[in-house]
Amino acid sequence: MIDFTHTKQLFQLPGNVVYLDGNSLGPLPKSAPARIEAMLRDEWGEMVIRGWNRAGWMQQPSRIGNRIAPMIGAPEHSVVMGDTLSIKVYQALAAALELTDDRNVVLSDTGNFPTDLYMADGLLRSLDRGYVLKTVEPDAIVDAITEEVAVLMLTQVDYRTGRMHDIAALTEQAHSVGALVVWDLAHSAGALPIDLAGCNADFAVGCTYKYLNGGPGAPAFIYVRPDHANIVRPALSGWLGHEAPFAFDRDYRPGLGIERFRVGTPPVIQMAALEASLDIWESVDMADIRSRSVELSELFIAEVEARCPMLQLASPRDAARRGSQVSFKFDNGYAAMQAVIARGLIGDFRAPDIMRFGFTPLYIDSDDVLAAVEIIDDVMSSRAWDVPEFHQRMAVT
């Protein structure tokens, strides 16, 4: 079993607050500043251009992809880093469509993160070939997987409620009607065990700044099933996805396998931060993380429900159907979250009425959960949210 007392010491946590928002942006690994400074001075500073070879920057997207792979049940050489999640969604969906050209429906659900739907919509419009982006309620997905569906594109864990789709079952069902699947693991990677290879998933994408603690703007990852990777011509065919980038050929020839999903110059400094975090991740077992996350979440639900009757559980009650966050509904959720934050508990509000709290066992323990419940109880019972200042919405929350 992981020594969570030890792992908590590995992070710089913000002073005087309980941080239940690691599902939005993970905290700073204490080792990251020194690692980045060494990269800056010894690599960028001293090697400059030679860093691409000497410090291995050029291979970094694949090397880090190989470190992410075991966390999502992917084989070596099937994951590569780069760009943002939005860009990787676009590439994954475009590749899936290339492999399924006789059907016209891309199926998703209303629980998918908006940018996935925006990117899909933009791609389908530009292709202008009669594709339809069909979204149904999450519970209706099973019935909507029909033979019209080219690609099923879902986020495993709903960013609002934490409701979790069954990757294995839905992938199998999609395959049974001849559709391919694209899984967005934004709220899954680093939160729970994932077995992409065991589920035979076709494509997956995710970000590294949430549970994986890679820092603000950390790069995304893309997984492509090895038997697909070598037969698609990637959308966004940039030079670093070319078979021989430094031949400077005029024609694009896709690189081997997952390498072709690289696009431009990798964000070397961001990746140094991510590597500091991955050192921690490689010392822990995801099954332990998951069981502790369930313990903390169950404790939180039980305490909040016992003490705050105004809050209605928005997450599935069954832990097996829930990611690593717990959400409650409250009509004045925006103001209540402002009041909660003002008292030292950081969570998120998600429109229209969701108060969201993330459980990240690497650095959150049961004392934090109990302290969080104290604050929520205090805010709710004192109606602390019912003051004008907490109702003024900022542009960004």
Binders of a second copy among residues 86 to 105 (CB under 8 A) are: 86-87, 90, 94
CB neighbours (10 Å) of residue 366?
13
- Least distance to a second copy, CB of residue 158, Å: 12
Catalytic (active site) residue 184: yes
User: Roughly what angle, to the nearest 10 degrees, separates helices 114-127 and 85-98?
Assistant: 40
Using the CB atoms, write b or e for 251-288: b if 16+ within 10 Å. Answer: eeebbebbbbbbbeebbbebbbbbbbbbebbeebebee
Q: Which of 11, 131, 209, 221 is the catalytic position?
A: 209
Among 158, 202, 259, 348, binds a second copy (CB under 8 A): 348
Among 177, 302, 351, 387, binds a second copy (CB under 8 A): 351
Q: Rule CB under 8 A: is residue 342 a binding residue for a second copy?
A: no
Catalytic (active site) residue 83: no
Q: Are 82 and 262 in contact (CB under 8 A)?
A: yes
Among 31, 84, 104, 291, binds a second copy (CB under 8 A): 84
Q: Are 150 and 106 in contact (CB under 8 A)?
A: yes
**Paired strand residues for 107:** 134, 152
Q: Rule CB under 8 A: is residue 273 a binding residue for a second copy?
A: yes
Catalytic (active site) residue 356: yes
Q: Rule CB under 8 A: is residue 9 a binding residue for a second copy?
A: no
Q: Rule CB under 8 A: is residue 256 a binding residue for a second copy?
A: no
Strand 180-184 versus strand 149-155 pairing type: parallel
Q: How many CA atoms lie within 13 A of 148 on its CB side?
A: 11
Binding region for a second copy (CB under 8 A) out of 161-169, 268-276, 286-294, 306-314: 268-276
Q: Which of 116, 334, 356, 390 is the catalytic position?
A: 356
Binding region for a second copy (CB under 8 A) out of 242-250, 282-290, 373-381, 384-392: 242-250
Q: Rule CB under 8 A: is residue 215 a binding residue for a second copy?
A: yes
Q: Which of 160, 210, 260, 350 is the catalytic position?
A: 210
Calpha distance 320→195 (Å, rounded): 15
